[in-house]
Amino acid sequence: MTLKDGREYRSLQDFSLVPREEGSEEYRVKGTAVVFDTPTVLYECDGVKYCEIIDRHAFDGCDTSDVIFNYNHGGKVVARLRNKTLALRVTERGLEVEADLSGTQAGRELYEEIDGGYVDKMSFSFSVRESKYDSVTHTRTITKVKKLYDVSAVDIPAYEETSISARSFFTEEHGKELAALEQARRRRKLIALTY
């Protein structure tokens, strides 16, 4: 789904609870919201798989001034970077997330759902500043993320709903590739007819 501000969503990674000591009231979760330099198939058309890679430097200069943690990209905010209940860390592997969900009733309930295995995936929403496309490998590489809006716990990674913007990008590229192939075919036919 793309919003007016160009926001895109990806549901990709698992996350886990931070083990708590017996009797502790901590409600912490951690995970990797983004894995760098790993192709992910986001769309398939006519047997062609279209992939996306997030470059390991994509978050350099990214606006992370007010990232929130919530459930399915909606509902109540259960952790936030501004109040230090959410921490983000860029590592060699990806964008690591750790959140303290103890501050709200909704956060504690979400923690219990994660603990019970009902919710076990992460997703993130963002806008793209720069990307490049390789028409040979059918791969879009996001080289710069403009803004990271949220990281969310999600129950079902909904590619059908959350990757509309990615699919529309790849549909457009697929159309360009088909047009180029058709133009080349016509050119070959014209050359053959002239001899």
Does residue 27 lie in a domain region?
Answer: yes
Does residue 157 lie in a domain region?
Answer: yes
Question: Looking at residue 12, what is its pLDDT?
Answer: 59
Instruction: Please tell me the distance from the alpha carbon of residue 73 to that of residue 125, in angstroms, as a whole number.
Output: 8
Determine the residue type at 47: G
Residues 6+ away with beta carbon under 8 Å from 26? 18, 20, 100, 102
Total structural domains within the chain: 1
Does residue 1 lie in a domain region?
Answer: no
User: Does the pLDDT value for residue 162 go beyond 60?
Assistant: no
Does residue 63 lie in a domain region?
Answer: yes
| Per-residue pLDDT tens over the stretch 105-124 | 999 999 888 888 888 788 88
Can you tell me the mean pLDDT for 87-91? 94
Tell me which of 3-7, 9-13, 144-148, 156-160 is least confident.
Answer: 156-160
Question: Looking at residue 44, what is its pLDDT?
Answer: 79
Determine the residue type at 123: S
Threshold 0.85, pTM exceeds: no
Does residue 3 lie in a domain region?
Answer: no
Residue corresponding to tokens 């996306």: 52
Alpha-carbon torsion (88, 122, 73, 147), positive or negative = positive
Instruction: Please tell me the distance from the alpha carbon of residue 99 to that of residue 167, in angstroms, as a whole number.
Output: 31
Does residue 85 lie in a domain region?
Answer: yes
Which residues form the domain of 61? 8-194
* φ, ψ (nearest 5 deg) of residue 88: -120, 140
Tell me which of 6-15, 24-33, 115-124 is least confident.
Answer: 6-15
Residue 138 backbone zone (phi > 0: left; psi -120 to 50: alpha; other: beta): left
Instruction: Please tell me the distance from the alpha carbon of residue 143 to that of residue 128, in angstroms, as a whole number.
Output: 8
User: Does the pLDDT value for residue 132 go beyond 80?
Assistant: yes
Instruction: Please tell me the distance from the alpha carbon of residue 76 to that of residue 133, in angstroms, as a whole number.
Output: 36
Does residue 2 lie in a domain region?
Answer: no
